């Protein structure tokens, strides 16, 4: 299994867990080109922070497209750990 590992701010992590955000975006820069182009992934692993117990989510990877930026298309959420939604 090849996983794309990304760190997110809480707002975007919340949006993905709620099912509102289905595409994650990254700028077309040499760093992301190296990490994304020519690679194949099965899953995307999102973390909200760097602590050992930071909220974590595994999401099914669909595909990557380019349209002014890299668009990482997300599928079904497979697992969520250490996450408590913020109440509005």
Q: What is the CATH number of the domain that holds 69?
A: 2.30.130.30
> Does the residue 67 lie in any domain?
yes
pLDDT for 1 equals: 66
- Domain housing 37: 3-81
> Does the residue 87 lie in any domain?
no
CA dist., res. 67 & res. 84, Å (int): 33
> Does the residue 36 lie in any domain?
yes
pLDDT in tens, 26-64: 999 999 999 999 999 999 999 999 999 999 999 999 999
Q: How confident is the model at residue 86 (pLDDT cuts 50, 70, 90)?
A: confident
Question: What is the percent of the chain with per-residue pLDDT over 90, rounded to a whole number?
Answer: 93
For the chain, report the end-to-end CA distance as a whole number of angstroms.
36
CA dist., res. 26 & res. 84, Å (int): 26
> Does the residue 88 lie in any domain?
no
Residue 80 confidence (pLDDT) above 80? yes
> Does the residue 47 lie in any domain?
yes
């Amino acid at each position: 299994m090849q996983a794309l590992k990304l760190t997110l701010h809480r707002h975007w992590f919340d949006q993905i867990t709620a099912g509102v955000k289905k595409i994650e975006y990254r700028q077309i820069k040499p760093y992301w080109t190296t990490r994304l182009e020519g690679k194949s992934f099965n899953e995307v692993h999102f973390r909200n922070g760097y602590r050992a117990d930071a909220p974590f989510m595994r999401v099914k990877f669909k595909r990557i497209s380019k349209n002014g930026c890299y668009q990482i298309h997300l599928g079904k959420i497979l697992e969520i750990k250490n996450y408590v939604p913020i109440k509005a």
